[in-house]
Structure 1
Amino acid sequence: MSDKIEDNSSYKKLKQQFEGVDALRNILDFFPIPGLDPIEFEKALEPFVDLKKEFEIISKAPDRFNHHFAKRGWIAHESMNESLLFSCIELAEKGQIAEAEQKLIEYYSSDKMKWLKHQFKGLEVFRKRFSLINLAYDDTIAERYHACIPVLLMIIDGGVNDIDKITGFFAERTDVTAWDSIAAHSTGLATLKDIFNDTRAKTTEEVITMPYRHGILHGRDINYANKTVAAKCWAALFAVSDWARAVRDGKKVAPEPAPELTVEETLAQLHDSVKKYEQQKERRTFEQKLLELWKARIITIGLDIPEKGHHTDYKDYTPEQEAVRFIEYWSSNNYGAIAKQIHQFSKYNFKLSSEAGKVRKVFENKIILDYKIVQVKDTSASISEVILEVSFEHNDEQYAREITLRLIYQDKDGGMLINGETGGQWRFVENFFHVVGYSY
């Protein structure tokens, strides 16, 4: 594994593609191609020039961040907020390292994690620990640092143990590196592991600013409960989850070297990369504009939308329309359709037949009698809650229940869309089935 993250395979591949373009330009200076207009050729390469400048900044950023912050207990990782990464680097390189670190502390101890922590559900090892993650989050926001820090250290250790199958994060022989990874680079998690694993041989009442696992869990670092230590635990947990994804995706061991590409193949790949990058850039700009304009709707049931009706009575691509579809699927015993409505935090190991079977166990023999929409609340640009009152019959008994569908708006690839855009799919978080299925 290279000593620099910028030499990771994905970065290296793009770098080689840019070098291929530069080489082609040099060749054409000496050996012009008949019929090729050099002015038009240079114009066609303008996007490559701009992209190359951005790439050079982005590819070097993780190394620059780790240079300034790794020994302080922070590392760059894939899911890290890009604006935070660059602003901290900028401050550090101006000599304002304390101000930069304060930014990190504030970010990783704030309510921004309310949504960010849901990414842990995409990994089985953390999904089974999600109730503990939620408790640690609640304790962090409430500034109960004495409670959240030991729990976060245990989640990190146990999660790594489940992945490694032999040892946890803090064991000396545990390898937390992976191929083509930012978090799992040798300058990343391995550095944190060494720092957090420091031997704490005696009891101390001094305030610590590092999550020393042995000192905290063995009761030697008594004065550990502070915002800085909690924030570093959260940052480490996010980095560990990025390592876990790399392992899941088969990056624990580097693949065989790819064959050398011809200049033509290099240009074709670079063209595709530029096209994808430009599309992503346009999308980010568009999203930013939408977010600036977005406002939560104020919906009066019975006036703005019907209290009940067919899904065609509601505006397309709205959460309330999807909620009514859910009622219709329930009414027609369409368990597969309901299963498709459920938000999946990970596409891995998803089997529609299996999920439909789980839905069947909840809704089978429960005959929907009536429903009405009680409230629709847009809680963020991509998340809405629809509260339904439903009545149904089960074993000749009638029941009335209030259920809340928490819906998330996504594109076909699982990316977040903004309420008001068209073409997406609202999917609900399965957090209410127990109200319907297990109340008897």
Structure 2
Amino acid sequence: MGFPKNRQQLRSMIALAKLARGVSTVLRIFGVTIPRDTLDNAIRIGEEVLEVADRFNATFAERGWIACGALNNDAARAALDEADSGHWREADEVLAASWAPGIIRIELNKMRRLKCFESRAQLAVLALEDYEAGRYHACVPVVLALLDGAAKDLTGAGPFRMSLQTTSKESFLEIGPGFAALMKTMSAPRRSTRADRTDVPYRHGIMHGTDLGYANKIVAAKAWAALVAFGQYAQEHLAPTELPPSTLLEVLRKSAATRQELDAMESSLKNWAPRSESELARIVSAGQFEPGTPEAVADAILRAWSKGQYLLIAQMSSDSLKENPNGLAGKLKKNIGIAPRGLKITAIEDSGPSAAWVSLVAGDAETSSEVRLRLLHMKGAEWIPRTIVGGQWIIHSLWPLEFLASDVTRRRGAGEGA
């Protein structure tokens, strides 16, 4: 039995089962009979799964494991029992055994549908062949690289960071239950060469050749588990698919849109084309961003950050659709702080009629760091083509801004300590 992919849905199912148990007598009057044992078992199993999931991250995130929908519930319970007895290596071995190649293959097939992963799928399959053959030295660096690249394509910034600001519940880098804590563990600085065995996939130590004892099944299984956890979160929360014209029109028809709106939408989608690379390069070089363009909004965000105008940034963020902009502004002030020096736009990409990427850089020549902002053209809570009047460009995720601020600070601190 796996962990739930949607905890809120599981909680709703538990509540429904409890309600059905409470009104079972009334239901029987209407000829509906549900055995009480069935309801009791459903409630018990659901509550156990939620309890184990919550305990799992608190117990194992610092050891390189995270709970996700693909994690075997029985293995998780057994590992928690071992951990309660202080048998950490045994707990690792139980969990590593549960990450069989067949389970990972199923999850990789699901991840192929993610735009940030589709071009990486074939490399993942080759790494899985190494994993199945016990060539852990070969598969671990590949899996870590796949996770790093896919997360950067999805959010605009890589997940591995040595900043300590990853455990706050208000952090925009907390992209799923326990994920930021896991990334903090895997991002630990590993500057000294170590030849002894390690049981944690330390990204920096492995990729830079200072952790030499990583070639074992436990490290490999943890790396795959992190990639799968990221993939499941991306499918559910962070990667809305760019809607094709037919689907978008169907949505509008179902919502009783007018014929005029439909005609305008059809015309806009038919006639839209991305700007040429040379035109975008010229815009970046000139630094002149026309109002109503994604790069103009990105530039406005950088200017607001430089002036400490966090409310303006909040109002230009999709997070403002989910919470009060004033409260969001307070979080921004805490999590991104004062703007780093050298903020500027370095590239623009028209990725679709209603989406674009804008690359940013901050810092000086020795401490520079680069991220990408994903901007969406929206009207209310709906994506619309940029050629439709009434829409506005907003930043999709605040993750890159927090990453940029912390990464520049980290690089500057490392330089001063050198």
TM range (shorter): 0.3 to 0.5
TM-score by length of 1: 0.45
Structure of larger gyration radius: 1
Q: Greater helix share, 1 or 2?
A: 2
